[in-house]
Amino acid sequence: MQKTITAFVFIFFLICSTSTIGRTEMRPVPKYRAGIPPFKVLANILETNRADSGKTTKKTKNRGPCLTWLADADARLQAQSILQNRINQIFSVRNLGNQLLLSSGTVDYGVRYLHTPVLLITGISDSKSIEAFTNGYDFLTPDIRHDLDHLHRPLTIKKQQTKTKKKLLLDYVEDNIDFQVTQAVLRYGDRIKSGRLAVIGSVFDSTNSYDKGKNKLIIINVNGKKDEKKLKRLKLMSMLDKNLLQYVGRKQKAEVRNQQTENKK
């Protein structure tokens, strides 16, 4: 009798434990944010770019932000230059040099919990952060130096050669954008592969270095792709108004003029 009770108790606990394990494994699958595909967000960004600095502030239904924006902490760079109908649409993250490492947790929140379909990384063509890094920043406070120290990874000091300081600074800005996009692609590769995220690198051209007009946003990198022709052939770009593609690619006006001069010879 005692053996029968013992066996019954053993079987009872075995069933309970099996049931518990089953319940543990049946976790709810997190639902991705349904809504705007990446190309529509990019189209909105570039439409704002073509328009008059995003003056539209018409309220729309609040579905949460469609854009995680990692931008340089420069007062000249504001949300109204990036997106029309921007109220509740931009999850903004700012730091010196638009560095993913400095704000990785906050960017994670925008990408993985708010499920924004676009991570837009934006530098500025004459970035004061990059300029301070390249010119020497020992005179700044320890905390500022600490933030700028991380730029040693994406940037290697270049020899000036025949380039002007303005052109050299823009090269650094582009190098930094490329590095930050690469880091983001590695970090969020699963969402990119599933088509739920596009990582877009851009430069806010405060100096008209790309000859598209002052204070225009130039797209120079998408998910790690940098070549202008390849960028324009991306599926993401094929869905856009062809006129918007003038803001895609890093060919700068000085290079265009030099090429034209070479062709005339």
Query: What pLDDT was estimated at residue 158?
Result: 64
Q: Mean pLDDT over residues 94-109, rounded?
A: 98
- The helix (H) or strand (E) run that includes residue 226 is none
Tokens coding 85: 């109908």
Which CATH number fits the domain that encloses residue 235?
Answer: 3.40.1050.10
The reply to whether 180 falls in a domain is yes
21 pLDDT higher than 80: no
The reply to whether 22 falls in a domain is no
Count of domains for the chain:
1
What are the tens digits of pLDDT across the range 147-204? 999 999 999 766 556 578 889 999 999 999 999 999 999 999 999 999 999 999 999 9
Nearest to 209 by CA among 171, 265, 161: 171
Q: Give the residues across from 90 on adjacent strands.
A: 67
Query: What pLDDT was estimated at residue 233?
Result: 94
The reply to whether 160 falls in a domain is yes
Q: Mean pLDDT over residues 232-238, rounded?
A: 93
The reply to whether 72 falls in a domain is yes
- The pTM (predicted TM-score) of the whole model is 0.76
Domain of 117 in residue numbering reads as 31-264
The reply to whether 97 falls in a domain is yes
Q: Roughly how many angstroms between the first and final C-alpha of the chain, as a whole number? A: 107
The reply to whether 138 falls in a domain is yes
- Gap between the Cα atoms of 257 and 255, Å rounded: 5
The reply to whether 16 falls in a domain is no
Sequential DSSP letters for 141-179? -HHHHHHHHGGGTT--PPP-TT--HHHHHHHHHHHHHHH
The reply to whether 14 falls in a domain is no
Please list, residue by residue across 170-203, b when 16 or more beta carbons sit within 10 angstroms of its beta carbon and e when fewer do: bbbbbbbbbbbbbbbbebbeebbeeebbbbbbbb
Residue 59 burial (CB < 10 Å; 0-12/13-18/19+)? exposed
